[in-house]
Amino acid sequence: MKKILLALVLALVSMPLFAGEPPGVGADAPSFKLQDQNGDWHASEDYRGQWLAVYFYPKDDTPGCTKEACNFRDNIYAFKAIGAAVVGVSVDDVESHKEFSDKYKLPFTLLADEDHAMAAAYGVLKDYKLVKIASRQSFLVDPDGKIAKHYAKVDPDTHTEEVLADIKAFMAQAESG
């Protein structure tokens, strides 16, 4: 009986807890003001009037996170061509983001959510008791600052193309409607 109880306690302690629920489609995107990999400040208001892909990722310079970041890097001109911005967010610090960005020549903003406030506001903060990380999820924010789409499950290999296609579809829908 003690072994079963111990196993249950260990399972509960190792299970991640999420901070809040993600904002739903149509809701205001949570506001933020954070530093990027260069120490420059960025606020949600800076992105009004354009489409914004906000992608959360667990850790700088890890395999899946690197794959996802490099895919956004490789498609950045397609985002810029349609007037969309890309912002990556993790709970790593500015220095870690700088090293990651420089190593892989990432031409977009990486926000350092060191106090976990943005990840918590978007409902993607995983709390493992000993460590907190942002789970791999993304949000499309429309030019009015509303959540247009939430990607709860993200494949680092194909996510960039999915986001680009969705922005283009939303733009076409707005033009025809």
Q: Which two tokens stand for residue 78?
A: 């397609």
Q: Are 69 and 157 in contact (CB under 8 A)?
A: no
Query: pLDDT of 123-135, one tens digit each?
Result: 999 988 788 999 9
Taking 90 as the threshold, does the pLDDT of residue 175 lie above it?
no
More confident residue, 175 or 59: 59
Instruction: Please give the Cα distance from 114 to 12 (Å, whole number).
Output: 25
Report residue 14's pLDDT band, with 50, 70 and 90 as the boundaries.
very low
Candidates 3.40.30.10, 3.50.50.60, 2.30.110.10, 3.30.300.130; CATH matching 17-176 = 3.40.30.10
159 contacts 151 by C-beta, under 8 angstroms: yes
pLDDT tens for 54-104 read 999 999 999 999 999 999 999 999 999 999 999 999 999 999 999 999 999
Which residue is listed with tokens 């020549």? 105
Once rounded to an integer, what is the mean pLDDT over residues 19-26?
A: 85
| Positions marked active-site | 65
Q: How many CB atoms lie within 10 A of CB 10?
A: 10
The domains of the chain are located at: 17-176
